[in-house]
Amino acid sequence: MPGYSLWLVPPPNSPVSDTLQNLISSTLPAKFPEEAASSPRLPKPQFFFRHVTLTSEIPPSFFKDKTPQDWLNSILWPSADSVSIKFEKVKSQEFFYRRCYISVDYDSVKHLAGLARARGVNDEEDAEGEKTQQWLSWWREAFGPHVSLMYGDVPISDEKLREVTEVVQEAGIQLSQEEKKGGENLSGWTGGVIWLVPSDGPISEWKPLATREL
């Protein structure tokens, strides 16, 4: 993922934030060591921050006249209560960065992703502009909004995917159309924090240059 990326991460005080991070960094690598630690590109133990990627390929030239923080602050982000991320289903693709993930409802994040793309890549185009809308259609089909759980090179079988789903649900994550069973069910989050991350280097260096709370 060349250049910089804009991520949405859960609010730090949200229960879903710690739950997702524990799944990524400890629970899933412990229960599925082959799938979760299948590449030399991954730090050991596996570690990357829980997030939804809003857009990538932001060129460094965007920060020529501003600091990364000033650039991020210059964007008119929506209010926290207008952003509500909804989890859908645990899935797997034959792609390193989407080896295992929770898909996210497209409608719950499309406006935010469109704004990130318009301001970060499409020459300050309005979020409803033609290039941005075309990109959103492509993004929805090619990637789709998601929270990655495991990166890796090892294929995940249907049976293994069911096991991962059970572990995710046992942690309290509620997937769409799943009947609530009492206790704390985490079906997503509201608001969050925008991170500007250099995403073309090693995974261990994927840390925010600037952040902006919604």
pLDDT per position as a tens digit, 98-137: 899 999 999 999 999 999 988 888 766 666 778 888 989 9
- The residues pairing with 9 across neighbouring beta strands, listed in sequence order, are 193
- The pLDDT, as a whole number, for residue 149 is 95
- The pLDDT, as a whole number, for residue 95 is 84
CATH at 158: 3.90.1140.10
Among the options 146, 156, 189, 192, which is catalytic? 146
Predicted TM-score (pTM) of this structure: 0.89
Whether pLDDT at 213 is above 90: yes
Residue 44 binned pLDDT confidence (cut-offs 50, 70, 90):
low
Residue 194, domain extent: 4-213
The DSSP output letter for 40 is: T
How many separate domains does the chain show?
1
C-alpha–C-alpha distance, residues 143 and 203, integer Å: 19
Is 111 in the active site? Answer: no
Is 146 in the active site? Answer: yes
- The residues pairing with 74 across neighbouring beta strands, listed in sequence order, are none
**CB 190, CB 83: distance < 8 Å:** yes
Among the options 51, 91, 98, 117, which is catalytic? 51
